[in-house]
Structure 1
């Protein structure tokens, strides 16, 4: 517990500002799409940091930052082009510069995170992980004190809608699992993280988030080689207790009821409306020409689509349709720069983050980009560890050779070629 406080509230320098931002992130005070207090705080912090320090990144991380910068430049050009083309015409949606500003803002937060890692090293890992765990605990604790609402059967706690809470729980757990692979923390903290973020996902009644967490848990068990008989037995016991709790507690019964109601609501959708249409993917099939350069965001009244006057319910679909083949290629290059060279289980940790974006729009959700930045950070940590291991082996090899070379007569300090007193 003292270690958690040390790396969050007791963090030094810019790390303290980073910890405050991560702990304040889940608390929304304004409507969705508006700048929240945590956004205003980190924007001012990043501006001051950049003007005084600049973004000094490891070479490996410079590539990641540069790839996303290219993507941001392209989308800004596309959105500005749409604005020019629609001058004097109805344009339902946010202005082009605000849509582009969301991505630029996330780019700067990503750069700030990578620069902090360069400056503070492993302390950054501890601060990031513990701040996310504390943020989850604070949400749960304060939800019993304050009246938090949601959309009917689905809870949102301090977010503005349940999808945000579900996505946050997924991103937060991914951050913890990626970082704990490189730092020594009690296993109790890891299992506590599963409990806290799992609770948030249950409150949101997000099937996507809960399914993704099962994948993360399985990857964690395999990656950490904890599938011994004793650990399997412990997982069965804990899982059994959790299952019985869901069956017999008031909280569990409410979750089952809400999940059933949501299933019924989803079933009420007209049979002729497919998931392709419901998520807005029908814009791609109805307007394939936009795939060449991209349709841009905003101006949603331009399209023949089931969800008229609204953005697509998909991050992947938004990138493909709004920014076309060039934007998609730039984004894929960015993703590859994040994941290249990492062990397989890190790829598994990343899959749920992207899979969630198939049916939900989360490109403006900053914690998603923070989670992605943990992968290149860990890659640098792995390289550091390999370098230090090689260095220790080399030093040990040199010391071993020195200790096993017999001394020659003229190497004795006081007897060189028979001359004493040297």
Structure 2
């Protein structure tokens, strides 16, 4: 527990500002889409960080930053083009410069994370992981003291809607599990993280988040040896407590009731309306001409679609339709730069983050981009470890050669 405070409130230098940001991220004080206190704080910190000439990514870490920068430049051009075309016409949606500002803000937060790792090394990993755990603890504590928001059925804690809480639960747990592979932390912290972030997913009644949680837990067991006695014991404890919590407690009864209510509400949707239409994907089939260069975001009143005057309920749908083939290619190249040369289980850890974006729009959710940055950082950490092991092996080999040479010399002298 000492490490929890040492690497959060007690973090040194710029890492303390990073810890404060991560711990404050889940606390929303203004409507969705507005600048939250955590956003304003980290934007100010990054400004001072850049002015102090501390921003440095190095060669390897620069690639994902540059890839996403290219995507941001293209989407800005696309959105500005839509603004020019629609000049003087009704335009339902955010202004083009606000849309672009969201992406550039996330770009600089990602760059800040990469630069802090370059500056502080493994201390950055500890601060990031423990700050996510501390953020979860603070949410649970303050929810008991201050109460939380909800839509009557689905809980949101201190977010403005349950989907944000569900997505946050995935991103937070993914960050912990990815970083845990290169850190020495008590397993109790990992299991505590599973409980807390799974609790958030259950509270949000997000089926996508709950399903992804099961995937994350399964991958964790496989990556750490599912047949080990420790993991079998952990599986029995976590499974037993989870079963008891869902079947024998007031929280479990409320969860089952709310889940049934949500399923009934979804059943009220007209049967002729498919999921493709309900999420807004029908714009792709109704307006395939936009796939060439992209329709841009905003101006939603232009389209023949089931969800009039609203953005597509999908991150991937938004990228494909709003930014066309060029934007999709740039985004795929960015994703490839994150995951290349990583073992299979890291790739699987990333899948729930992306799969949630199939049915939800999460491109403005900064913690998602922070979670993605953990993958190139881990790749860099693995390269450092491999280099260190090679150096040790080389030194050991040199010592063996010297030892054998010394023995041969001694034998010659004796003869």
- 2:130 matches 1:130: yes
Q: Name the CA distance, whole Å, in 1 between partners of 2:382 and 2:230.
A: 29
Q: Alpha-carbon deviation of 1:343?
A: 0.1
Q: Deviations over 1:326-367 (max 9, x none)?
A: 000000000000000000000100000000000000000000
Change (3 A) 1:234 1:127: closer
Bigger Cα Rg? 1
Q: Alpha-carbon deviation of 1:58?
A: 2.9
Which residue pairs with 1:45 in the alignment?
A: 45
Q: Alpha-carbon deviation of 1:400?
A: 2.3
Which residue pairs with 2:246 in the alignment?
A: 246
SS at 2:63's partner residue? Answer: helix
Which residue pairs with 2:56 in the alignment?
A: 56
Q: Name the CA distance, whole Å, in 2 between partners of 1:163 and 1:189.
A: 25
Q: Deviations over 1:95-116 (max 9, x none)?
A: 1000000000000000000000
Q: Deviations over 1:42-85 (max 9, x none)?
A: 00001111121243113121111110000000000000000000
Q: Alpha-carbon deviation of 1:402?
A: 2.1
Query: Is contact 2:7-2:130 (8 Å) kept?
Result: yes
Q: Name the CA distance, whole Å, in 2 between partners of 1:307 and 1:65.
A: 34
TM-score normalized with structure 1 length:
0.95
Query: Is contact 2:208-2:356 (8 Å) kept?
Result: yes
Count of residues in Structure 1 that have an aligned counterpart in Structure 2: 410
Q: Name the CA distance, whole Å, in 2 between partners of 1:383 and 1:160.
A: 40
Q: Name the CA distance, whole Å, in 1 between partners of 2:109 and 2:256.
A: 38
Q: Deviations over 1:105-131 (max 9, x none)?
A: 000000000000000000000000000
Which residue pairs with 1:291 in the alignment?
A: 291
Q: Alpha-carbon deviation of 1:230?
A: 5.8
Q: Name the CA distance, whole Å, in 2 between partners of 1:94 and 1:233.
A: 51
Q: Alpha-carbon deviation of 1:299?
A: 0.6
Q: Name the CA distance, whole Å, in 2 between partners of 1:316 and 1:226.
A: 33
Q: Name the CA distance, whole Å, in 1 between partners of 2:58 and 2:2.
A: 31
- 2:263 matches 1:267: no
Q: Name the CA distance, whole Å, in 2 between partners of 1:239 and 1:122.
A: 32
Query: Is contact 2:221-2:231 (8 Å) kept?
Result: no
Q: Name the CA distance, whole Å, in 1 between partners of 2:332 and 2:54.
A: 27
Change (3 A) 1:185 1:234: closer
TM superposition outliers: structure 1 runs of 4+ over 3 Å: none
Which residue pairs with 2:367 in the alignment?
A: 367
Consecutive unaligned residues of structure 2, counting only runs of 5 or more, are none
Greater Cα shift, 85-94 or 143-152? 143-152
Which residue pairs with 2:351 in the alignment?
A: 351
TM-score normalized with structure 2 length:
0.97
Q: Deviations over 1:214-267 (max 9, x none)?
A: 000000000011323563254134312321221110011000000010010111
Q: Alpha-carbon deviation of 1:376?
A: 0.2
Query: Is contact 2:297-2:322 (8 Å) kept?
Result: yes
Summarize the alignment of residues 77-226 of structure 1 with structure 2, pairs less than 5 Å apart.
77-226=77-226
SS at 2:91's partner residue? Answer: coil
Change (3 A) 1:233 1:16: closer
Q: Alpha-carbon deviation of 1:401?
A: 2.2
CA RMSD of aligned residues (A): 1.3
Change (3 A) 1:133 1:233: closer
Which residue pairs with 1:257 in the alignment?
A: 257
Which residue pairs with 2:330 in the alignment?
A: 330
